[in-house]
Structure 1
Amino acid sequence: MFECCSAGGEVTLSGLVGPPTAALCPPGQCVFNEEWSPAQLVERQQITHEVILCTFALRDATKPMGLSTCACILSKFNEEGSPDPIVRPYTPVSTNALIGKFQLAVKVYPGGKMSEHMKNLPIGEDIDFKHIAPNVKIQHPFGKKTITMLVGGTGVTPMIQALHAVLGTESDTTQVTMLFGNKTQKDILCKELLETWAENSGGRFKIVHVLSDAKDDATWKGETGFITKEMLAKHAAPASDDTLVVVCGPPPMYNAFCGPRDKKELTGMLADMGYSAEQVFKF
């Protein structure tokens, strides 16, 4: 059962339920631009023990967000007593099929200034957002036969955005494999959604869950530990010009797989396995 606060009306999980939906917009059409502008928090739902789903209203209730795939936005609030604003990037989990609103899945970290702010923000209050050119990431169509997604925790949010486009586009035949690392089963964000998409994909989408803290979970029969070269070799497509690997997760994950997120150079496990920098994208 979801815990929910709302400003009234029906609760909508939007991009976290239902089939994949390719509601695509090209870059340059997002309602947010390089100037900060407010959006009102209208709903907040607890979707795992650590993750909340925040729904914000757009100023024009008749239009979608207009965000391209894949892209993120920036959020900002001014912390009392601090001269500098708190700014964080988020990838919406809703699509442009949602009119007049957008949704963010936010992991609430102890001491996390933005996530704690969103958790405690009164319904009806505003947060500022903007969208700038560097927020536009690799775009659909991705032009590869296979995509391997290496994901940790809430790093799944840009992958959900990409999967909406890939699986929701009838003419797209891309094969996608996701290796999704979490601590425990209760930490897996959008588990039912992703597994339903996999079941209904006709073999185009496969998801492999890997739990690092499952030693006391007798119900867990899947992969354990951390994502390894052996798991990649077993489940993912080998390095080739027809393969794209996308990585999103906490900093240690980047360090292990591909090198720091802000460095184009490819290092780590993927480099050791023969992938090139052109075949790997760091979200």
Structure 2
Amino acid sequence: MELLQTPNLKILGLIVAVAAITVVAAYLHLTKKRKGCLDPENFKDFKLVKRTQLSHNVAKFRFALPTPTSVLGLPIGQHISCRGKDSVGEEVIKPYTPTTLDSDVGYFELVIKMYLQGRMSHHFREIRVGDYLSVKGPKGRFKYQANQVKAFGMLAGGSGITPMFQVARAILENPKDKTKVHLIYANVTFEDILLKEELDGLANNYPDRFKVYYVLNQPPEVWNGGIGFVSKEMIQTHCPAPAPDIQILRCGPPPMNKAMAAHLDALGYTQEMQFQF
């Protein structure tokens, strides 16, 4: 009887060993950090595979990475430099923050507001599916690690929402990150609000960790958000109070950034508690 069982035990042992090796290999494959596609020194070309018009002057552009499992390799809160041609054919380079993360494999997306006189705006108005965009990066001073602060206050204006959205998504989609996010987002009209559906989705999915307060200079007749410009009182009401374990991020047009810096200083936020993209 023992002679009959010995080969079976050997086969069973071999199957278990192979299964264990397979599981370990799969784990290592899933957990190893993928190498990003960006080059900080040289521009690389990425193909536009989808363009979605969101409003009369805003569009979402999806660019393919080399393979379906490639990642861009952009650290949270940093940006890329995009190169294009303006209306007279001269080269122009401008920074943009993708709205996607490295958890979005195989592609990256940019939400771009195209201004009538904008030099890079011309390039994005003209680019079509199948064309290529030259990109270099990563760039930026902001470095983020999970739970580095208790809470973020975010002051965004117009297209300055893109780095805020990227940081907020990274925080909220990480189950180990307990950081809370309080966003004040200012625009001229309701139609100017970028990523509103996505921001409202975050507020609905993470009600205890993400709050958004919209401010409009020219609101519609029925409006329950802020009116005018972002004030000290709005910051006091909707952002975390000054403390060593909080940070206020700001990104918007230069006049707004200057005004927000003055408000924050007056409210007692130290320079260490502030960061401007």
Contact 1:40–1:127 under 8 Å retained in 2: yes
Alignment-derived partner of residue 31 in structure 1: 37
CA offsets, 1:155-180, max 9 Å, x none? Answer: 11111111111111112221211011
Answering whether residue 186 of structure 2 is matched by residue 192 of structure 1, we say no
SS at match of 1:147: strand
Alignment-derived partner of residue 205 in structure 1: 210
Answering whether residue 234 of structure 2 is matched by residue 255 of structure 1, we say no
- Give the distance between the partners of 1:257 and 1:29, measured in 2 at CA: 37
SS at match of 1:42: strand
Which of 74, 78, 96 is 1:90 aligned to?
Answer: 96
Alignment-derived partner of residue 164 in structure 2: 159
Alignment-derived partner of residue 270 in structure 1: 264
Q: CA deviation at 1:81?
A: 5.5
Which of 54, 59, 63 is 1:56 aligned to?
Answer: 63
CA offsets, 1:238-268, max 9 Å, x none? Answer: 111011100011111111112xxxxxxxxx1
Alignment-derived partner of residue 6 in structure 1: none
- Give the distance between the partners of 2:56 and 2:151, measured in 1 at CA: 33
Q: Which has the higher contact order (CA 8 A, sep 6+)?
A: 1
SS at match of 1:158: helix
Alignment-derived partner of residue 129 in structure 2: 123
Which of 145, 150, 157 is 1:140 aligned to?
Answer: 145
Aligned residues: 246
- Give the distance between the partners of 2:52 and 2:195, measured in 1 at CA: 13
Alignment-derived partner of residue 71 in structure 1: 78
Per the normalisation by structure 1, the TM-score is 0.81
Identity %: 33
Alignment-derived partner of residue 5 in structure 2: none
Query: Gaps spanning 5+ residues in structure 1: where?
Result: 1-23, 259-267
Query: Gaps spanning 5+ residues in structure 2: where?
Result: 1-30
Measured on the aligned residues, the alpha-carbon RMSD in Å equals: 2.1
Alignment-derived partner of residue 239 in structure 1: 242
Which one has a bigger Cα radius of gyration?
2
Which of 33, 37, 45 is 2:52 aligned to?
Answer: 45
Amino acid at match of 2:151: T
Contact 1:25–1:67 under 8 Å retained in 2: no
Contact 1:54–1:105 under 8 Å retained in 2: yes
Amino acid at match of 2:45: P
